[in-house]
């Protein structure tokens, strides 16, 4: 499973990229606004760091305006994936932009029917939002499984990009189900390294080292 990092913080992207933990980046205007920087400048800098897809989101809601914005975003770098919402206008924009050879990430997906429409419209990625479904007492992981079944049934090339990831458990469950990609905040990716028994074992080891006065350097 590929890891995309869901942030616009350049230092965090550089750190994870250096460890091989970043296959792509997802951004949105809200994330970039927190940095106080120009949206196009931030996206360009991220594209220079990361070789994989960098999702950049349109802000228009009408199809023609989405297409115009998408073309402008796609011109920033060849690894841009234009992010559009899963609305009827968003699907129209997806069809045009993907038909022009651009990667398109269709976001805000909350049902298998929506994911099926996005695949038919030529989406490169579909982004089902796990955490937001969990918030309303619907198991978001079930949606990932349903989309996986549908896409496999018909050989769709659209990649399942699990989004709204809230925990390390979400990451492992998405991997088991067969999501192609999971996008998560840096804190969640780092939390995947944590385990109480690792901490316990390391504490015991360090106590033994101290007791024995072991030094390597």
Q: Are 94 and 118 in contact (CB under 8 A)?
A: yes
Q: Which candidate in 2, 34, 72, 83 is catalytic?
A: 83
Query: How does DSSP assign 121-173, residue by residue?
Result: TT-SEEEEBHHHHHHTT--HHHHHHHHHHHHHHHT---EEEEBS--SHHHHHH
Per the annotation, the verdict on 83 as an active-site residue is yes
Q: Are 197 and 161 in contact (CB under 8 A)?
A: no
Q: Which of 173, 92, 189 is nearest to 128 (CA)?
A: 173
Q: How far is CA 103 from the centre of its chain?
A: 14
CB count within 10 Å of CB 15 equals 15
SS3 category, 28: coil
Query: Which of the residues are catalytic?
Result: 83
């Amino acid at each position: 499973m590929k890891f995309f990092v869901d942030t616009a913080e350049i230092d965090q992207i550089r750190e994870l990229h250096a460890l091989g933990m970043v296959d792509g980046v997802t951004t949105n205007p809200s994330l970039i606004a927190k940095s106080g920087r120009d949206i196009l400048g931030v996206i360009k800098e991220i594209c220079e760091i990361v070789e994989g897809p960098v999702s950049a989101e349109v802000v228009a809601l009408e199809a023609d305006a989405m297409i115009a914005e998408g073309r402008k975003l796609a011109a920033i770098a060849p690894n841009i994936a234009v992010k559009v919402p899963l609305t009827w206008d968003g699907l129209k924009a997806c069809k045009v932009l993907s038909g022009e050879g651009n990667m398109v990430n269709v976001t805000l997906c909350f049902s298998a029917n929506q994911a099926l429409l996005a695949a038919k419209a030529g989406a490169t990625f579909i982004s089902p939002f796990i955490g937001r479904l969990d918030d309303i007492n619907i198991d978001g992981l079930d949606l990932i499984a349903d989309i996986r079944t549908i896409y496999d049934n018909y050989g769709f090339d659209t990649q399942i990009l699990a989004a709204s990831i809230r925990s390390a458990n979400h990451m492992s469950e998405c991997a088991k189900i067969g999501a192609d990609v999971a996008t998560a905040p840096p804190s969640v990716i780092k939390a995947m390294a944590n385990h109480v028994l690792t901490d316990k074992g390391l504490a015991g080891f360090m106590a033994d080292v101290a007791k024995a006065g072991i030094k390597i350097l």
